[in-house]
Structure 1
Amino acid sequence: MSETKAVAETANGQQGTPGEVFLAFLKLGLTSFGGPIAHLGYFRDELVLRRKWIDEKGYADLVALSQFLPGPASSQVGFALGLLRGGPLGALAAWAAFTLPSALLLLIFAIGASAFEGPIGQGIIEGLKIVAVAIVAHAVWGMARSLAPDRERATIALGAVLIAILVAGSFGQVAAILVGGLAGLIVCRQAGAAVSGHVEFPVSRTFGAVCLAVFIALLIGLPLAAAVVPSQALAVFDSFYRAGSLVFGGGHVVLPLLEAEVVRTGWVTPSEFLAGYGAAQAVPGPLFTFAAYLGAVLGPEPNGLAGAMIALVAVFLPGFLLLIGVIPFWDAFRARPSAQALMRGANAAVVGILGAALYDPVFTSAVVGPLQFALALTCFVLLMAWKAPPWTVVIVAAIGGALIGLA
């Protein structure tokens, strides 16, 4: 415990409060554009370099842990930093402050989406669908370069595409990740990066094991309970919890998982889904707050504010349970070559899953003619060649969509 306190204290020797944590992360939640990698850079500048909540080695280890686990990487790092600085209440304060700004903006968009009538309004919605093509294509390209850079992992990614296409829905995506992990154990045993850094948290192995048990119990028990109990709220919680449990490789991977849960069940139309995903690119904070929009617009009640809250809690909960559960065992586990090989294969598989989603539903739903294709290609070039921030590309797409609507 003393080692943890030493890491968590600032230079003046004072440990923080949940209020301090909330204000620090509220600033980040209002200004952190650019996706999880950019968020981690903002965290480092604000909390490591300026506020000195943790040293560089400890922060690097937190980042490595978040990249290993399923879930929203930047939100998991923020949750862990809040836990170090302000205890359990600090962890909740960090999550709430970093998440609420974007969640509220997307909730407002969901409530006001019906106001987008007429050719201009519908054109803006179409533009938000088209920008999703460019955003996802950019994500697939970047993830393929880092997570499938050699022929073994590229082949695993291709196999995941085939599985995701042939076996529709969340079952096919889970199968692709499992097959990818097993393939990684066989063909991805090359020497990994040296293990460095050290995480020391006020979390015992017993409590960590309890959190892992709760994670597994919910993952298995929620679908069974939803099948027996006729509750739409329980079904929504189950769907978003499962989606949050399987997001390896970055926030964009939540797209195909959520699409399988809410579009193929008929809760959300493809048009609503892609418009919300496009709008999510224009707000700061974690991409997982897209769940708040989906919870608000899904067809059966509860929706609106209640649906947004259920979806938001459910999609973040598994990542946080895994984080707390793995922390006490992390140093020993990550040094195992088999663990590193398994994760290489699983990460390559998620590239394939996202690649399959790029075609269907993203491309097939948004690109319905040459003008839409030209706008999608323009947005992609802005992201790739001009390195434009995603929120500016969203504005370009919305204007372009409005012009197409008037054509």
Structure 2
Amino acid sequence: MSGAPSGGHAGEVFRAFLKLGLTSFGGPVAHLGYFREEFVIRRKWLSDDSYAELIALCQFLPGPASSQAGFAIGLMRGGWWGALAAFTAFTLPSALLLLVFGLSAAAVSGPVATGALGGLKIVAVAIVAQAVWGMSRQLCPDAARAGIAVLSVALIAFLPGAAGMIAAIVAGAVAGLALPRGSAEPGAAALHMPVTTGEGWAALLAFCGLLLLLPLLAVWSQGFAVIDSFYRAGALVFGGGHVVLPLLESGVVAPGWVTPDAFLAGYGAAQAVPGPLFTFAAYLGAVLGPEPNGIAGATLALIALFLPGFLLLIAVIPFWNRVRRINAIRAGLRGANAAVVGVLGAALYMPVFTSAISDMRDFNLALACFVALSVWNLPSWAVVILGATGGVALTLIG
């Protein structure tokens, strides 16, 4: 195991990640910074070179990059039990908070509660706008990739829903093959984790099998329909984090399982808790209209959303040291990532903006939240409080 000391165990991994699960605000990029500080600098579980290569691997794959990195660090330190401990400890705090919010939101009424939920929807506008802006600068730094993003929005405009998003990402990957390749230099340190070639193939078979089988099972059971919807979203999230928003919206709002207002209020609340943004699934599972919902729905949604990213990570680990050298794969990924910016930009307009902004006062509050995030650099939880308070004020003013 390169770059990681021996002798780790699941309990040690759980304690380390639980601290991060309770304190890691700021989204996936910030999480990766917390991980480096904790596991490279302080605990010295792996080297800087190994950590950089691990991040390259996780950003190469669909799924929640920070949670995949945490899973891999747990795997390197404590084997399979360590990987499970890392995921559980990092995810559980925010999942429980959002579950409680989902179970209690329907019982809260009155102008203050209505205003606060409206404010959370407006906060979602600012947060998604900031995500589009930040990702565009990182993933569309040239004219060619900016063009891929714009064409992705156009494709979704004429082919709405999940089909349009999938088509946009596939088309972006194909277009990426025509981008200038440059030099695809591999990282300085190869990764060595306790995953055999056989386990990698088994994980890939499980990933593909579920992707093909779940839509068939969904016809017979609402429970399988829920699992299928969240699993497909998790399997297609290039870029992680906020990119899951349009995929989840297509999966739960379009069929009428969750109202647009409840969806955006939960998304806003998800910004105020630490840990991975993917725990938004716990809230959505809890507030689903048809059963399973509540605790059972939250559990199914949470596992289904995270599972495909972890299966792909396990599948690629044994082959990564060779795959990372293939120029065509890296070029296709750059095109797909540019298309993701377009997918998220389309979601910023609908459903986020069209559902949350009804007049100039709402727009003014959204703009204030955006400036607070992007210019004043306030933490996301503080902006959530600002937005909820502003929403209450707008409601009381009438």
Amino acid at match of 2:42: R
Identify the residue that residue 37 of structure 2 maps to in structure 1: 45
> What SS does structure 1 have at the residue aligned with 2:178?
helix
Q: CA deviation at 1:48?
A: 1.3
Alignment of 1:206-245 (within 5 A): 206-227=198-219, 229=220, 231-245=221-235
Q: CA deviation at 1:387?
A: 1.0
Question: CA 1:323/1:194 → structure 2, altered by over 3 Å: closer, same or farther?
Answer: closer
The answer for unaligned runs of 5 or more in structure 2 is none
Share of identical aligned residues, percent?
62
Amino acid at match of 2:347: A
Decide which of 283, 289, 300 is 2:279's aligned counterpart: 289
Contact 1:74 1:286 survives alignment (8 Å):
yes
Identify the residue that residue 155 of structure 1 maps to in structure 2: 147
Q: CA deviation at 1:197?
A: 2.2
Identify the residue that residue 350 of structure 2 maps to in structure 1: 360
Runs ≥4 residues deviating over 2 A: 187-197
Identify the residue that residue 270 of structure 2 maps to in structure 1: 280
The answer as to 2:24 corresponding to 1:32 is yes
Contact 2:4 2:47 survives alignment (8 Å):
no
RMSD: 1.0
The answer as to 2:3 corresponding to 1:7 is yes
Q: CA deviation at 1:47?
A: 1.3
Q: CA deviation at 1:190?
A: 3.6
> What SS does structure 2 have at the residue aligned with 1:8?
coil
Q: What is the CA–CA distance in structure 2 between the aligned matches of 1:81 and 1:194, rounded to whole Å? A: 20
Q: What is the CA–CA distance in structure 2 between the aligned matches of 1:320 and 1:311, rounded to whole Å? A: 15
Q: CA deviation at 1:188?
A: 4.3
Q: What is the CA–CA distance in structure 2 between the aligned matches of 1:143 and 1:192, rounded to whole Å? A: 21
Identify the residue that residue 103 of structure 1 maps to in structure 2: 95
Contact 1:188 1:345 survives alignment (8 Å):
no
Q: What is the CA–CA distance in structure 2 between the aligned matches of 1:76 and 1:167, rounded to whole Å? A: 31
Amino acid at match of 2:298: A
Amino acid at match of 1:145: R
Identify the residue that residue 380 of structure 2 maps to in structure 1: 390
Identify the residue that residue 326 of structure 1 maps to in structure 2: 316
The answer as to 2:149 corresponding to 1:132 is no
Contact 1:135 1:380 survives alignment (8 Å):
yes
Identify the residue that residue 141 of structure 1 maps to in structure 2: 133
Q: CA deviation at 1:335?
A: 1.0
Identify the residue that residue 71 of structure 2 maps to in structure 1: 79
Deviation per residue, 1:359-378 (Å, 9 max, x gap): 00000000001110000000
Q: CA deviation at 1:332?
A: 1.0
Q: What is the CA–CA distance in structure 2 between the aligned matches of 1:258 and 1:32, rounded to whole Å? A: 23
Alignment of 1:56-75 (within 5 A): 56-75=48-67
TM-score, length basis structure 2: 0.98
Q: CA deviation at 1:204?
A: 1.4
Deviation per residue, 1:101-131 (Å, 9 max, x gap): 0000000100110233111110000000000
> What SS does structure 2 have at the residue aligned with 1:187?
coil
Deviation per residue, 1:245-281 (Å, 9 max, x gap): 0111131000000000000010000000000000000
Q: What is the CA–CA distance in structure 2 between the aligned matches of 1:352 and 1:378, rounded to whole Å? A: 24
Identify the residue that residue 325 of structure 2 maps to in structure 1: 335
Q: What is the CA–CA distance in structure 2 between the aligned matches of 1:400 and 1:220, rounded to whole Å? A: 45
Q: CA deviation at 1:319?
A: 0.4
Identify the residue that residue 176 of structure 1 maps to in structure 2: 168
Q: Which moved more, 1:159-168 or 1:337-346?
A: 159-168
Q: What is the CA–CA distance in structure 2 between the aligned matches of 1:341 and 1:209, rounded to whole Å? A: 24
Decide which of 251, 272, 288 is 1:261's aligned counterpart: 251
Q: Which moved more, 1:207-216 or 1:25-34?
A: 207-216
Deviation per residue, 1:382-407 (Å, 9 max, x gap): 11111111111000000000000101
Q: What is the CA–CA distance in structure 1 between the aligned matches of 2:189 and 2:232, rounded to whole Å? A: 31
Amino acid at match of 1:149: P
Contact 1:8 1:15 survives alignment (8 Å):
no
Q: What is the CA–CA distance in structure 2 between the aligned matches of 1:317 and 1:289, rounded to whole Å? A: 13
Identify the residue that residue 121 of structure 1 maps to in structure 2: 113
Q: What is the CA–CA distance in structure 2 between the aligned matches of 1:17 and 1:92, rounded to whole Å? A: 11
Q: Which moved more, 1:334-343 or 1:350-359?
A: 334-343
> What SS does structure 2 have at the residue aligned with 1:52?
coil
Q: What is the CA–CA distance in structure 2 between the aligned matches of 1:193 and 1:259, rounded to whole Å? A: 37
Q: What is the CA–CA distance in structure 1 between the aligned matches of 2:288 and 2:182, rounded to whole Å? A: 45
Q: Which moved more, 1:161-170 or 1:131-140?
A: 161-170
Q: CA deviation at 1:187?
A: 2.7
The answer for unaligned runs of 5 or more in structure 1 is none
Amino acid at match of 2:102: A
Q: What is the CA–CA distance in structure 2 between the aligned matches of 1:192 and 1:279, rounded to whole Å? A: 40
Contact 2:184 2:326 survives alignment (8 Å):
no
> What SS does structure 1 have at the residue aligned with 2:352?
helix
Q: CA deviation at 1:194?
A: 5.0
Q: What is the CA–CA distance in structure 1 between the aligned matches of 2:236 and 2:118, rounded to whole Å? A: 29
Q: CA deviation at 1:192?
A: 4.0
Q: What is the CA–CA distance in structure 2 between the aligned matches of 1:131 and 1:314, rounded to whole Å? A: 27
Amino acid at match of 1:344: R
